[in-house]
């Protein structure tokens, strides 16, 4: 397995691969890899013949320095997991490579960045859009795979790919969950024992709304009430938001579910280290054709 530490080195490798007719798949990560990330590797492998995983904790997408400092860093284990999964190359850049001295260029998709995570974490998506653009330019992939758990991020990256004319297929990969329904996340390891036990309430809230839609409920406020009521059953859960948005544009819905919509949740739980852990999850809700 190759390890590249600079953009120039990875670009040179990508150029050679493309000249030889290879298709490149990219899986951008911040490390602390779990089976959800490895499912992205599998999706990239199914579509390409050379898979690159990037491991970089991007400082520009954190709105709180404490969250950046607490983010788990497990590079040795991550490299072993990549090699075991058959990854061809890992990109491990430094801050000075992706953000050279005096760096002042940013990528931003304004409207799709405003609600949900964008409202709760100002500047987050500017950091995401900028670093992923840099990773696209470094790896020169034909395909890039991202998890559907980060629904708004996936929508944002599809938007900038279209807007900037990247010749890249952006693939969304279904969320990988534990048996209890909890979405896999690198942040889960920071949960305290009781918070860890209560955290599956997010998936139960999504299940409640989905079952209601299947039974014929289409009122937006009724569906949100169901989700919020379920979240309230977990005493340690402190909701940040629970919103229904148009699945395609993330624009607000009217009074009824008249098109596919994403129910997006963000909830704080106590961390084992005394800070909060913020978990997100989502479900696309769609009425059955009559």
Local mean pLDDT, 10-residue blocks, the chain (290 residues): 98 98 98 98 98 98 87 96 98 98 97 96 97 98 98 98 98 98 95 97 98 97 98 98 97 95 98 90 87
Rounded Cα distance, 64 and 100, in Å: 22
Q: Which is catalytic among the residues 37, 124, 142, 225?
A: 37
CATH 3.30.420.140 fits 186-285, yes or no: no
**Domain range list for the chain:** 2-173, 186-285
Cα angle: 217, vertex 223, 227; to 5 degrees: 140
Active site residue 37: yes
- What sign does the CA torsion over 12, 18, 20, 24 have? positive
Q: Quick one: pLDDT at residue 290? A: 54
Q: Quick one: pLDDT at residue 65? A: 84
Q: Quick one: pLDDT at residue 244? A: 98
Q: Quick one: pLDDT at residue 82? A: 98
Alpha-helical runs (H) found in 34-123:
35-47, 65-70, 75-84, 95-98, 117-120
Three-state DSSP state, 286: coil
Contacts of 289 (CB under 8 A, 6+ apart): none
The length of the chain in residues reads 290
CATH superfamily to which 2-173 belongs = HUPs (3.40.50.620)
For 40, counting Cβ atoms within 10 Å of its Cβ (0-12 exposed, 13-18 middle, 19+ buried), the class is buried
């Amino acid at each position: 397995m190759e390890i590249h530490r600079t953009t120039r080195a990875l670009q040179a490798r990508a150029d050679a691969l493309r000249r030889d007719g290879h298709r490149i798949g990219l899986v951008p990560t911040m490390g602390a890899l779990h089976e959800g990330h490895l499912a992205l590797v599998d999706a990239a492998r199914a579509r390409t013949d050379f898979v690159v995983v990037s491991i970089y904790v991007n400082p520009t997408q954190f709105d709180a320095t404490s969250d950046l400092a607490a983010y788990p860093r497990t590079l040795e284990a991550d490299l072993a997991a990549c090699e075991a999964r058959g990854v061809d190359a890992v990109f491990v850049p430094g801050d000075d490579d992706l953000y050279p001295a005096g760096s002042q260029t940013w990528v931003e998709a304004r409207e799709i960045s405003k609600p949900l995570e964008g409202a709760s974490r100002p500047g987050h998506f500017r950091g995401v859009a900028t670093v992923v653009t840099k990773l696209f330019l470094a790896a020169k992939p034909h395909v890039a795979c991202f998890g559907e758990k980060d629904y708004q991020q996936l929508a944002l990256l599809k938007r900038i790919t279209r807007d900037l004319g990247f010749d890249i297929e952006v693939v969304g990969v279904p969320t990988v969950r534990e048996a209890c329904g909890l979405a896999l996340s690198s942040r889960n390891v920071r949960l305290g024992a009781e918070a860890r036990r209560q955290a599956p309430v997010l998936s139960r809230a999504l299940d409640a709304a989905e079952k209601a839609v299947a039974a014929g409920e289409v009122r937006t406020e009724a569906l949100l009430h169901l989700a919020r009521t379920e979240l309230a059953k977990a005493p340690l859960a402190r909701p940040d938001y629970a919103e229904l948005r148009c699945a395609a544009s993330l624009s607000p819905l009217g009074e009824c579910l008249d098109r596919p919509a994403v129910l997006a949740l963000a909830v704080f739980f106590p961390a084992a280290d005394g800070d909060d852990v913020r978990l997100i999850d989502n479900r696309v809700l769609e009425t059955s054709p009559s």
